[in-house]
Amino acid sequence: MRIHQYQIDAFTDHLFGGNPAAVCLLESWLPVETMQAIATENNLSETVFCVPERGGYGIRWFTPRLEIGLAGHPTLAAAWVILNDITPDVAEVRFTSYGGDVLSVVRDGKWLIMDFPAVPATKADNLPEIAEALGAVPDHVLAARDMMAVFQDEATVHALDPDMTKVAALDTFGLIATAPGEDCDFVSRFFAPQAGIPEDPVTGSAHCTLAPYWAERLGKTQLFARQISERGGEIHCEHLGDRVRLGGTAVPFMEGYITL
């Protein structure tokens, strides 16, 4: 059996930036154990699997350790493959997640615009625990799927040197650190060592929580964000109540086949 696989750098306009994702195009679903083994072998933040169904694609996302319910940069990567190599004559692709969520991606010039559910956070009470894990005291912390630590300035977020053992022990999928940006609306970093991702280069799904927070705090619905990891990436966000639009670009790095 041969599986067509791409590797795409997402949320960037140049190679070796943004977040690399593996995109596997399937005719039908493989056993979960096989998809997890492929993701572990790829050892990228996520490997995404797509199967044609219902006029669009079913989509599933795997980190090197586990399957997850929502992921942004591999969805952007999958959309780039489909809208450029598979159906270049169309401008929109719809994905249905394993949990039933419908996610659309629209091509607008060089941009790909994803429509995702908003995941707003509420106040959390474990600031000392998060401060110890990050090695710095945030102004406040919030919780949704991910914990979010809010700091006063970009320099503090950039300088964070988390204790990954302590981050992994937190009762959360991932830990977001965020602050106002110096040349953008806000910056962030994202850590999920328990999922096999010590620091994620660019995390689209985290912006489902970041965008509602910063939209309310800054009093604006359209925001420009940077994830200030070593590779770095840029995300254009629009908060639409119970939905967020996340815009970015992507570039192809590699194409080949997996032989099973």
Catalytically active residues are 46
Running DSSP on this structure, what letter comes out for residue 76?
H
Helix, coil or strand: residue 115: strand
Q: Which of 81, 59, 228, 103 is nearest to 156 (CA)?
A: 228
Helices and strands in the chain, H and E counts: 6, 18
- Amino acid identity for residue 227 in this structure: Q
Q: Which of 218, 241, 213, 197 is nearest to 73 (CA)?
A: 197
Q: Which of 100, 98, 19, 95 is nearest to 66 (CA)?
A: 98
